[in-house]
Amino acid sequence: MRADSRNFLKGLGFISPWLLGFCFFTLIPISLSLYYSFCNYSLVQKPVFIGLDNYRELLHDPVFWKANSNTLFYTVFSLPLGLLIALALALLLNVKIRGQAIYRTLIFLPSLIPAVASAMLWLWLFNSKLGLVNFLLRSLGMKDPPGWLTDAQWALPSLIIISFWSVGNTVVIFLAGLQDVPTELFEAADLDGAGKFQTLRHVTLPSISPVIFFNLIIGIIAALQVFVLPFIMTQGGPARATYLYTEYMYDNAFVYLKMGYCSAMAWLQLLLVLALTGVAFWTSKHWVHYQGK
């Protein structure tokens, strides 16, 4: 046997645990979900092929469209605001001041707290009667503070506010990008008489635009798949005001035992994610600048 062939077989041997894991836990489930999306499958009986019926039913399902609109509303507001807050915090943390490491740690700590624990914490904070948020609002003179999670008008905005709690990971990525900006650019801007806002607009933001783009893509994927917070805190209520796409998928699969219907939803979700990320990539050529190009 030739040396190249032996090396190839050795390489296959080394990566075989990963290949087996990928096939059994990723490739096969994905393939089965695509097949189930064309089936009537209740988990307790054999799947029956029904063609495109699941997809046709989704088009006429009012709950599906309600979950879609809630998810898009959540994404449209939580994603850009979250990126803006994370960028602002990163800019502040990038300033060399005393206790800088402590501030960075405090900003990053919430992202280390498990999502379930964070949900329970915010349940108490946003409690309409005993919560700290409404206590502070009453102490400031507000007689009738919002019901937050129990008010259909405020429930989804409350989840958006809570999403800002865990921007620590995004802040760290922005901070790494800021520290990678060449100091020569700032010195040149200073020599040209540029102010802080002009330096931010014409030097800092273009230099970290690849980092912004990365966080945008990750944010799109995460926002369209948010599940834990609404599932624990509101269960989709009140009046389905916080009933998001992934929770409806979960209910179809494990409450209504409509795994075929859920699989169809999963593939539509994938197409939506691909479409939005495709738009982001298409627009990136106009605002993302890579060093050396």
pLDDT at 173: 95
List Cβ<8 Å contacts ≥24 apart for 263-272. Answer: 263/33, 263/34, 263/36, 263/37, 263/41, 263/54, 264/37, 264/38, 264/54, 264/55, 264/58, 265/58, 265/64, 266/33, 266/37, 267/33, 267/34, 267/37, 268/55, 268/58, 269/224, 269/225, 269/245, 272/224
pLDDT by residue (tens digit) across 145-170? 999 999 999 999 999 999 999 999 99
Note whether 88 and 164 are within 8 A (CB).
no
> For the chain, what's the residue count?
293
Predicted local confidence at residue 217, as pLDDT: 96
Report the b/e string of 122-149 with b at 16+ CB within 10 A: bbebbbeeebebbeeeeeeeeeebbbbb
Q: What is the rounded CA–CA span in Å between residue 129 and residue 127? A: 6
Domains of the chain with CATH codes? 61-287 (1.10.3720.10)
> Which pLDDT score, from 0 to 100, does residue 293 have?
57
pLDDT of residue 4: 76
pLDDT below 50 — which residues of the chain?
A: none
φ, ψ of residue 41 to 5 degrees: the values are: -135, 120
Which residues make Cβ contacts (< 8 Å) with residue 281, sequence separation at least 6?
A: none
Give per-residue pLDDT as tens, 5-17. 888 888 888 999 9
What pTM was computed for the model? 0.92
